């Protein structure tokens, strides 16, 4: 306990410098407290928007340890350390003048500094510049992190009837920043409809439409279809499928891998074929 407070033990009186707000030694209006609260709110707003801590470090120009401390603190008061003090600065008496001149349209820090020097200000230019810096930028809500390409691909490949409403709305908002996914979604779903409803007769028209849009992601797929167009058309039209055979082949390969590739035909027959 500081020596100046020893005489107050047992008197029930608080020190003269005790804060007005009980439970927090850093009241509103304290320079350190307000600055820490603003940083804490900015970091947690970016975290809520989906940004990583490394991304926040780059955006705000902070050290990574500082971002960690702000992110791990549930409330800004957890970061307040040290004895409470709110010392008067040389600039305090001149702040009303600075605010008035700013409202009149004078926004040059050097000009404001030279003006208040004529009225008796003896401080440096840096304090004036730091004081008016918050006036230059209006706070804006952090932009939400855009979905990753893998996430958008999953939305596109999911049947519209099984896609949740929240993800459906997010998919609709993607073309606002990039118009190509809108056309891509239409082509993918049209192909899925041909695949599930056996409408192989529509394949040539689908290929023609895809080539007309000239999307960067589908020409390679279309080229592969055209190499064996007759077989693909038959697969999209006829009710028969080789899926059962492919499933058995995959099962045999899995059993062989379980034996570290050492299973011969005799052993595979015993394991695969029933007795």
53 and 123: one domain?
no
pTM of the predicted protein model:
0.38
Q: Which residues contact 131 (CB under 8 A, 6 or more apart)?
A: 91, 95, 98
> Which pLDDT tens digit goes with each residue over 7-46?
333 333 333 333 334 445 555 556 677 888 889 999 999 9
153 and 227: one domain?
yes
Q: Is residue 11 part of a domain?
A: no
Q: What is the model's pLDDT at position 11?
A: 35
Q: What is the model's pLDDT at position 131?
A: 86
- Report whether pLDDT(252) > 50: yes
Q: What is the model's pLDDT at position 114?
A: 92
Of 98, 150, 160, which is closest to residue 123 (Cα–Cα)? 98
Q: Is residue 13 part of a domain?
A: no
190: containing domain? 149-235
> Which pLDDT tens digit goes with each residue over 161-185?
888 888 888 887 776 656 677 778 8
CB atoms under 10 Å from CB of 206, counted, come to 19
| Element housing 107 (H / E) | none
Q: Is residue 9 part of a domain?
A: no
| Element housing 20 (H / E) | none
Q: What is the model's pLDDT at position 222?
A: 85
Selected residue with higher pLDDT from 19 and 249: 249
46 and 73: one domain?
yes
| Cα atoms in the Cβ-side hemisphere of radius 13 Å centred on 109 | 13
Token pair listed for 95: 């702040």
177 and 216: one domain?
yes
231 and 249: one domain?
no
Q: Is residue 131 part of a domain?
A: yes
Q: Calculate the CA dihedral of residues 46, 48, 50, 55 and round it to 10 degrees.
A: 30
Q: What is the model's pLDDT at position 87?
A: 62
163 and 228: one domain?
yes
* Lookup result for tokens 């500094």: 113
- Provide the domain count of the chain: 4
Q: Is residue 1 part of a domain?
A: no
Q: Is residue 182 part of a domain?
A: yes
157 and 110: one domain?
no
Token pair listed for 67: 């971002």
Q: What is the model's pLDDT at position 46?
A: 92
Q: Is residue 217 part of a domain?
A: yes
Can you tell me the distance from the alpha carbon of 231 to that of 236, in angstroms, rounded to the nearest whole number? 9
170 and 118: one domain?
no
Mean pLDDT of 218-226: 84
Backbone φ and ψ for 225, nearest 5 degrees, come out as -65, -40
Pure H helices in the chain: 31-48, 53-60, 64-72, 95-103, 109-117, 125-136, 149-157, 165-173, 180-197, 203-213, 219-227, 229-235, 243-258, 265-272
What does the DSSP 8-state code read for residue 141?
Answer: P
Q: What is the model's pLDDT at position 14?
A: 33
Q: What is the model's pLDDT at position 22?
A: 46
Selected residue with higher pLDDT from 186 and 68: 68
- Evaluate whether 40 touches 73 at the Cβ level (below 8 Å): yes
> Which pLDDT tens digit goes with each residue over 63-117?
999 999 899 988 887 777 655 455 678 888 899 999 998 888 888 999 999 999 9
129 and 157: one domain?
no
258 and 231: one domain?
no
Q: Is residue 63 part of a domain?
A: yes
> Which pLDDT tens digit goes with each residue over 130-167?
888 888 775 556 666 777 878 888 888 888 788 888 88
Token pair listed for 184: 């891509």
130 and 183: one domain?
no
């Amino acid at each position: 306990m500081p020596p100046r407070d020893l005489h107050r033990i047992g008197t029930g009186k608080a020190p003269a410098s005790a804060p007005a707000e009980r439970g927090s030694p850093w009241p509103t209006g304290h320079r350190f407290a307000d600055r820490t609260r603003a940083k804490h709110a900015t970091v947690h707003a970016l975290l809520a928007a989906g940004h990583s801590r490394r991304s926040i470090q780059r955006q705000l120009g902070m050290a990574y340890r500082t971002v960690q401390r702000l992110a791990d603190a549930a409330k800004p008061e957890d970061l307040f350390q040290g004895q409470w003090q709110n010392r008067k600065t040389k600039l305090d008496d001149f702040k009303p003048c600075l605010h008035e001149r700013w409202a009149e349209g004078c926004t040059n820090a050097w000009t404001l500094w030279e003006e208040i020097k004529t009225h008796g200000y003896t401080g440096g230019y840096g304090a004036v510049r730091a004081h008016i810096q918050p006036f230059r930028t209006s706070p804006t809500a952090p932009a939400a992190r855009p979905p990753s390409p893998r996430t958008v691909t999953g939305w596109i490949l999911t049947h519209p009837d099984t896609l949740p409403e929240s993800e459906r709305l997010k998919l609709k908002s993607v073309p606002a920043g990039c118009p190509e996914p809108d056309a891509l979604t239409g082509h993918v779903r049209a192909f899925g409809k041909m695949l599930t409803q056996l409408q192989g007769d529509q394949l040539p028209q689908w290929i023609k439409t895809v080539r007309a849009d000239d999307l960067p992601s589908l020409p390679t797929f279309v080229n592969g279809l055209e190499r064996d167009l007759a077989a693909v058309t038959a697969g999209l039209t006829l009710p028969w499928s080789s899926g059962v055979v492919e499933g058995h082949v995959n099962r045999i390969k899995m059993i062989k891998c379980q034996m570290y590739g050492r299973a011969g035909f005799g052993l595979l027959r015993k394991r695969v074929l029933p007795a």
